[in-house]
Amino acid sequence: MRNLKVLMAYRGTAYHGFQIQNNAYTVQEVVQKCVSKVLNEPVTINGCSRTDAGVHAKAYCFSVRTNSRIPTIGFIRGVNGELPKDISILSCEEVDEDFHARFSCSSKEYLYLIHNSECKDPFTTDLAYHYRRPFHPELVREAAQHFVGTHDFRAFCSCNTEKINTVRTIHHFKVEQDGEKIMLYVKGDGFLYNMVRIMVGTLLDINEGKIPYEQLDEIIASGDRLRAGKTAMAHGLYLNHVFYDEK
């Protein structure tokens, strides 16, 4: 039995997130069918993360066990030949049998992409959040650093989260701007449901003066979702990188 580590990219617009659901069209459903066809056996792919409906991925990792002896380059070419145009296999390698895309993951980095302009850009529809208000990068950059470190992020997750432990560690939160393009990169050891989108929404509320910058530490400590900001739109969010500890 072989264990394959696979990286893929996908545009999440047409999908109701990654994980298979009974009454929704998902990335896992589509990819799993294509992988099973190429391997000539029914398989289950194990994803590194759930993603919400409309969220994209630049480098999503999944692992799959197979009896097939197909070469890794043959796997890449074969599966890409079956997949729709909005999903692509980027790499495939054989790994140790104990590797699991989710449980072996040490950290993840998300990117939130914003198009900051009065006018919409037809070339970024569903790929970046169109934000019309003036953006103050230094203010947002300074506020974002309050998320860095180990905190209880209960105030920054959806109220229907299943997680009992809401403590997470954020390694960095970078804010970059290139003209009308704003990029927010956040890396952490794990993320709660809607956590990145709520952190971004809170930063945008701070940018607009709706939430006083001085209250951010107090909001984090409160654990009160109602005190944090809005949930930013899903289509600006990308799973940007997945990190695994090297043995």
Q: What share of the chain is helix, strand, coil (3-state, %, to 5)?
A: 30, 30, 40
Which of the following is catalytic: 52, 98, 189, 205?
52
Contact predicate 25/14, CB 8 Å: yes
What separation in angstroms does the CA of 242 have from each of 6, 33, 95, 119?
Answer: 12, 23, 16, 33
138 CB neighbour count, 10 Å cutoff: 8
User: In sequence order, what are the residues at sequence separation of 6 or more whose Cβ sits closer than 8 angstroms to the Cβ of residue 39?
Assistant: 64, 66, 68, 70, 75
- Is 224 among the catalytic positions? no
Alpha helical stretches, state H, the chain = 27-39, 72-82, 137-144, 195-207, 216-222
What separation in angstroms does the CA of 58 have from each of 31, 51, 121, 230?
Answer: 15, 12, 21, 25
As annotated, the active-site residues are 52
